Structures are given as structure tokens and as C-alpha cells.
Amino acid sequence: MALVYSFSNPSGSGLASSPEGREYFLKLRQGQPFGSNGFNLDELRAIMATRREPTISGAQCIRTQVDDLPCEWVMAPGANPDVRLLYLHGGGYVSGSAAFYLAMSAHISAAAKCAVLLPDYRLAPEHRFPAALDDCVRAHEWMTTTGPTGPAPAGTTFIAGDSAGGGLTLATLLALRGRKMKLPAGGIALSPFADLTLSGASTQSEAANDPIMSPRCLPAFVEHYLEKWTNPRTPLASPVFADYSRIPPLLIQVGEHEIIRDDSVRVADKARADGVAVTLEIWPGMFHVFHSHEPLIPEARDAIGHIAGFMQSHQER
């Protein structure tokens, strides 16, 4: 069964429900979405390589390696090292880093009382599909037997990610099932970029509203990520076209004003039709990966609280 929440917005204005959320959204609208004036990969990579340290007092960041794959654990005070979340960063499959997501991961660790593992999976175009997916599968397999302090079996694992990392979250679940490997207790996809055919209606209907991404950048992401001969409808590249049978429960969160909003809606519909328990949350007035902006607006705090609730309700007993 799919539960769809579109949180109430009494004004009906399409803006966020909280004054802080509305103010922040309008501030973002004053800028230019990425891709409006051309695709600059070097600029995007420089921004998303920034190290953003946790703002939660006492949070630990522990660097590690999965073979040759650089990773970093994030542990907020009171987190259970046996409850492990693999978090896959965003960046259009071509940019992004564990360092950029340390602060957000610390918020999740604190709320869900879990250890968060951030891998620096390989990026396109130097490493095209399915290199990043293979890294994510490998990282989850390693995480089931190794924790923040060394070798130790996990009590429960989850996989989460945003944007391209949200697409990789879904693809990793599908790949683990296909390879008959251990599945996590649940998957959490935040604003997933899950349709590389770019066929969702929101790519046009939200083009004037999305303050983060212009539709003009999307073809470049696809071109860099996929080889010319790879069909963009391939389910492990575009999970919107996948068969979700025997996939664990999903939580999908997306903002109202996102050009890729419909990727979330279509994944939820398909997974529900395939018998998966899905919770889809569409947050009014919110933008792409609104959870990641510091300081957290009320909607981000609430959404992270929902992530924690989902994880707590699906932990293996």
C-alpha cells in the first residue's frame, strides 16, 4: 500500500507552510538555478566537494576505506553503531562528495540514532554507469559486516540518498535483489533522479518554480553518466522503469517545486503496483533536497524526523 502525504498548506499559495520555509524559498528564487546559463561541471564539482562539518556538538566523522573506495562514518552522540545507514550523496552522477553531506548525515544520525556511512562512489564521465552502482552495492555489503569501530555484524541496515543518490538508492536495492545479496530493512529516496529519459511532466511544469535546477542541466547529466549505447530506460539506470517485487519498504520524500518531482510519484506508483509498502511525501513549497540546507528550516527538521520514524519502525527485531 502506498501512503501519500501532501502536507497541508492553508494558504494554497504553493509556498511552504512555515514562515521560515516561505522566506527561505523566496530567497532561493532570487538566484539562478544551476544550468540556467550553461552546464559548468568544474564549478559544480568545486561546490559539491566543499567539506561541511557537522553542526551537532560531539558528532564524530571517521574516515575509512572499502577496498579502494574512500568513505566516512558519521556518528552523533547516542547513535547505535549496529544500526547502519548507507547514505548516497547527490550531484547528478557527476559530482558530489561525502564531505558535502557530513552535516546532513549528522542530523539523520542524531534523529535516527544510527551510524551513517558516506561513500565517495566513482563519478561520471570518467566512470560511467554502472561504476557508481557497483560501488554502492559493494559499500552496503561491507557495511553489513563492518561498523564504525571495525569488524562487527550490523543489527539493521538501511540505504538512503538524494537526487542522483536517490536514484542510486533505488538501483542499489534492485541490484542487491538481482544478485541475491542481503537486502536492507528499508530504502529512503529523497528527491530521486530516477528517470534518465527525462519524461516526467514536472520537468516542464515546475521549470519556472524550481530554484535549484534548470531543466537545461538534465540532458548533460544523462550524457555524462550513460554510454551512448546504453538505453536510458534500463531499470538500473532509470529505476522508474523497474520491477520492485520483493524490494523492502520505501520512504520517498520530494518537494512540490522540483523539476524531477514526478520521478518520485512514478516510482511510488510502480513500487506500490508491485506490492511494496511505500510512503510518498510531497512537501508543499519545498525545493530539491530541502533537508540539506543549514540551518534547517522547520520542514527539513520534520522530514528528517519522518526518516527517523521510518527507520525505527522497520528495524529488525
Check if 288 is active-site.
yes
Residue 183: count of CB within 10 angstroms of its CB:
17
The residue from 288, 291, 292, 299 that is catalytic is: 288
**Cis ω before 125 (30° cut-off from 0):** yes
Strand order in the sheet with 114-119: 2-6, 278-283, 250-255, 187-190, 156-162, 80-88, 114-119, 69-75, 60-66
* Closest by CA position to 201, among listed 213, 215, 189: 215
Answer yes or no: are the C-beta atoms of 252 and 173 closer than 8 Å: no
Check if 245 is active-site.
no
What letters, b where the CB count within 10 A reaches 16 and e where it falls short, cover 97-131? Answer: bbbbbbbbbbbbbbbbbbbbbbbbbbbbeebbbbb
Answer yes or no: are the C-beta atoms of 153 and 134 closer than 8 Å: no
Which of helix, strand or coil describes residue 63?
A: strand
Residue 296: count of CB within 10 angstroms of its CB:
19
The residue from 17, 97, 105, 163 that is catalytic is: 163
Which of helix, strand or coil describes residue 245?
A: coil
- Per DSSP, helices labelled H in the chain are 19-29, 41-48, 102-112, 131-143, 164-178, 202-205, 218-225, 261-273, 298-313
* 159, containing H or E segment: strand 156-162
Check if 293 is active-site.
no
The residue from 206, 258, 281, 299 that is catalytic is: 258
**Active site (catalytic) residues:** 163, 258, 288
